[in-house]
Amino acid sequence: MAAAPTTLQKLCAELIGTACLVFVGAGSAAATGVISAGTKVPFSMAQLGMISFAFMLVIVGVVYAIGHISGGHINPAVTLSLAVSGKFGWREVPGYLAAQLVGAVIGALGIFVTLGKAATVAAGGGVTAYNPATMGFGRGLLIEAIGTAILVFVIFGVIDHRAVPGWAPMAIGSVVFAVIIIVGPATGAAINPARYFGTFVMQAAFGGTVSWGQVPAYLIGEFAGGVLGGLAYLGLARARAQADLTGLAPADSESAAAGASADGAVTIGESLR
């Protein structure tokens, strides 16, 4: 039997995975801004779709690559949600969050190096933000919470042992694509505190325009939304045993074999392993 990954290996995997996510995902947004500045082409659904697709592809690739090492969280909201639900050890949370944040900063730095400092700053550095003239703090927070809740709800579902095996990365990438399409025009759809933090820090460090007043809306919304999304899935999953006896859906033989135990009806691992 292969030895389990060490803590250092897990943290390095999360750092590299989050760096890749930010470099490709947020980088695609910055690149779109750089190109638009030169061509004067107005931003449209075509550009939004390509940004969403870039996020989807990098998430699919990264989760397949490191899911068996660290779980492929690459998102502090996911890590916190797993810990709150009792499916991930709290002692590992600080290390994971630190690795993800450092990785996000490295990924964001890579954007500036690749596209050029001046052009990237002018294009917004891939930072997500909402328009304060048309949207208030509370609405921005709520939108980010909804987007993150949907993401984490799906993550909890696909790592349920009853889910179709092998499709977790595709499902996660796909839901990110879908969420960005609707949430992107409103808040930029960060739905990931590390993705937001990394680009924000680098944009500020290079003298770009950032809105410090919006930071709490994103961080509170994403962490709260993630936790609610995870708990919502657990609530539904724990109700499955009773639903099998009273509902019209086909019975779950595995739940029945477990004695219709609420605690035994679902086993959500701390990672995608």
Q: Which tokens is 203 given?
A: 């944009």
Between these two residues, 146 and 267, which has the higher pLDDT value? 146
Render pLDDT for 151-164 as a digit per residue (tens, 0 to 9): 999 999 999 988 88
Residue 101 pLDDT level (bands cut at 50, 70, 90):
very high
Give the model's pLDDT for residue 266: 34
Between these two residues, 221 and 264, which has the higher pLDDT value? 221
Between these two residues, 1 and 214, which has the higher pLDDT value? 214
C-alpha radius of gyration, the chain, whole number = 19
Give the model's pLDDT for residue 196: 98
In one-letter notation, the amino acid at residue 161 is: H
Contacts of 205 (CB under 8 A, 6+ apart): none
Render pLDDT for 239-265 as a digit per residue (tens, 0 to 9): 654 444 444 444 454 444 444 333 433
What count of other Cβ atoms lies within 10 Å of the Cβ of residue 89?
11
Reply yes or no on whether the pLDDT at 183 is more than 80: yes
The distance of Cα 264 from the centroid of its chain, to the nearest Å, equals 27
Between these two residues, 155 and 269, which has the higher pLDDT value? 155
Continuous H helices in the chain: 7-21, 27-39, 45-66, 76-84, 93-115, 117-122, 137-158, 168-187, 193-205, 215-238, 240-246, 253-257
Give the model's pLDDT for residue 1: 64
Render pLDDT for 48-66 as a digit per residue (tens, 0 to 9): 999 999 999 999 999 999 9
- Over residues 35-52, mean pLDDT: 91
Q: Quick one: which of 184, 167, 173 has its CA closest to 151?
A: 173
Between these two residues, 119 and 263, which has the higher pLDDT value? 119
Compute the distance between CA of residue 49 and CA of residue 181 in angstroms, rounded to an integer.
7
Q: Quick one: which of 141, 151, 145 has its CA closest to 213?
A: 141
Give the model's pLDDT for residue 41: 85
Give the model's pLDDT for residue 240: 54
Render pLDDT for 140-153 as a digit per residue (tens, 0 to 9): 999 999 999 999 99
Give the model's pLDDT for residue 258: 45
Q: What percent of the chain has pLDDT over 70?
A: 87
Burial (Cβ within 10 Å: 0-12, 13-18, ≥19) of residue 247: exposed
Reply yes or no on whether the pLDDT at 209 is more than 90: yes
- Over residues 84-113, mean pLDDT: 97
